[in-house]
Amino acid sequence: MSEPRLHPDGVTRCPWPGDDPFYIAYHDQEWGVPEYDDRALFEKLILDGFQAGLSWITILRKRDNFRRAFDGFDPEKIARYGDDKVQALMNDVGIVRNRAKIVGTITSARSYLDIMAHGPGFSALLWDFVGGTPQINHFKTTTSVPASTPLSAQVSKELTRRGFKFVGPTIVYAFMQATGLVNDHLVDCVCHQRCAALNRPRPSPR
């Protein structure tokens, strides 16, 4: 069983970042922290889609390249991409060059814009699945943490219905963990309580 690890700095963490300072920083500062910003949620969902078949650290190390290549993950710009831009992205060695995922990102950007224009808003849509408040789990080992859940399947089905691509239940659950919709830091990890302390209802739209 993979249990929390006591690191040389005296902090007990989930085991998955290992000893990689870059990965540890992501674990400590981002993973599981509730995210409410529409565009930031869109970016993370897209990156999780690119992760499919790869390790997350691979995507994380390329994240700045992805942000540059995809215009800061501005959905309005991405939605207007044409064939020339797709080919330019396919030639960009700094990102994952998968045509289906690149084209899927364009389709997902258009779906995002539709939700923002005619629906509840992207953040509101997602957070409503957990009643506006992060779901706190109490897993003791990583082997206890599921790859997907009935809830992630529901979110996946709704996103697919709305036209998003590469949003299967496993991808969606990884996204939910990363953006704090669920708190899956192991109970003995220092970040479990940190993130639980951020457990507050989603801010009401201004």
Would the annotation count 185 as a binding residue? yes
Q: Binding site annotation covers 7?
A: no
Q: Is 14 annotated as belonging to a binding site?
A: yes
Contact 67, 184 (CB under 8 A): no
Is residue 192 marked as binding?
A: no
- Report the binding-site residues: 14, 27, 185, 189
- Report the binding-site residues for Zn(2+): 14, 27, 185, 189
